[in-house]
Amino acid sequence: MRSVKKQVGVCRLCKQHRNLRNSHIWPSFGYRDFVSDRETGGAFINLETNRFFPKQIKRYWYCNDCEQVFSRGEKYAKEMLAEIDEQNPSPTEYDERFHAFCTSISLRTLEYCGGIKSLPKRSEVKSAHKYWRDYLLGNRSDVLPFSMHCFLLFDKDLSMHKAMGGHVFHEKNLILSQVGPLFIVALLSRRQLSIGDLDIWSQSLVSAKGETLMPWKEWRPNGNITDSFFDVLVKHQREVVERVTSRTWGLDTEFTSG
């Protein structure tokens, strides 16, 4: 019988010294249901590097109990997405488990991509990290003053469903993660946002108590996303599109919301 490899260390979520599991950074259902492509040998576009990556990313970071915290949200998100018609997606109701899922994805993106150990102790990023940990462990009822946002967008024409991962944009005070058609954004600061931008961000807010997730057909600057966030998408996703397709992402395309 093959032995199971184990490591002992401090869990990154509960901070307890325990046996650690070889945990997925991005959820396993995302690989299976959305990004793995047999034509590329199962490789997918990793948003951290904008390059094809040949294997699922795992780390010995979390204990079994905390892995189960992540798994509950992942199971809920997987089942929710399975009920959505990709060709004609409709508004989808969700409960508090989806907010926990988005928070856990943002937390793991930050830990994997954000260089959190090298940041100043009093930085907003580290404050957000603590709030998210406390929320996922049941010690907080929300993540305020930080917020989670999600866009449901099936973009198979440009093969964006083959990308998964995330990136921390420190200069923009946000974290962008993607799991299949789910584009998850964690806002790290709202102080510099205008009233108009706050209103736009409110359309994609993921409520800790549950709400409705709206589908979109396109990104619409100053409509469903702010101009500043659109700049992030332009900078970050142009390379993704051009790597997985033979097409150039035309920035002069007319954008329409769903």
Higher per-residue pLDDT: 247 or 116: 116
pLDDT category at 113 given cuts 50, 70, 90 is confident
Note the pLDDT of residue 148.
Answer: 98
Q: How far apart are CA 86 and CA 98, in angstroms?
A: 19
As a whole number of Å, the end-to-end CA separation of the chain is: 53
Higher per-residue pLDDT: 135 or 54: 135
In a domain, 132, yes or no: yes
Section 107-113 average pLDDT: 91
Q: H-helix or E-strand containing 187?
A: strand 182-187
Q: Is the pLDDT of residue 202 over 90?
A: yes
In a domain, 114, yes or no: yes
CA distances from 12 to 5, 117, 165, 167 (A): 19, 12, 19, 19
Higher per-residue pLDDT: 251 or 236: 236
Q: Which tokens hold the place of 180? A: 């299949």
In a domain, 255, yes or no: no
Q: Is the pLDDT of residue 255 over 70?
A: no
Per-residue 3-state assignment (H helix, E strand, C coil) for 1-61: CCCCCCEEEECCCCCCEEEEEEEECCCHHHHHHHHCCHHHCCCEEECCCCEEECCCCEEEE
Q: Is the pLDDT of residue 2 over 80?
A: no
Q: Which tokens hold the place of 17? A: 């010294």
In a domain, 54, yes or no: yes
pTM for this prediction: 0.86
Note the pLDDT of residue 39.
Answer: 59
Higher per-residue pLDDT: 232 or 143: 143
In a domain, 71, yes or no: yes
Three-state SS at 179: strand
Number of domains composing the chain: 1
Q: Is the pLDDT of residue 7 over 60?
A: yes
Q: How far apart are CA 34 and CA 36, in angstroms?
A: 6
Note the pLDDT of residue 250.
Answer: 44
Q: H-helix or E-strand containing 232?
A: helix 227-244
Note the pLDDT of residue 171.
Answer: 86
Per-residue 3-state assignment (H helix, E strand, C coil) for 111-171: HHHCCHHHCCCCCHHHHHHHHHHHHHCCCCCCCCCCEEEEEECCCHHHCHHHEEEEEEEHH
In a domain, 34, yes or no: yes
In a domain, 195, yes or no: yes
Task: Report percent pLDDT > 90 for the chain.
Answer: 49
Q: How far apart are CA 43 and CA 51, in angstroms?
A: 10
Mean pLDDT across the chain = 83
Higher per-residue pLDDT: 89 or 116: 89
- Report residue 81: phi and psi, to 5°: -65, -35
Q: What is the pLDDT of residues 121-168, one digit of tens each?
A: 667 888 999 999 999 999 999 999 999 999 998 876 666 666 778 888
In a domain, 105, yes or no: yes
Q: Which tokens hold the place of 200? A: 């736009």
221: number of Cβ within 10 Å:
16
Section 229-256 average pLDDT: 59
> What residue numbers bound the domain in which 103 lies?
8-60+67-244
Q: How far apart are CA 239 and CA 219, in angstroms?
A: 17
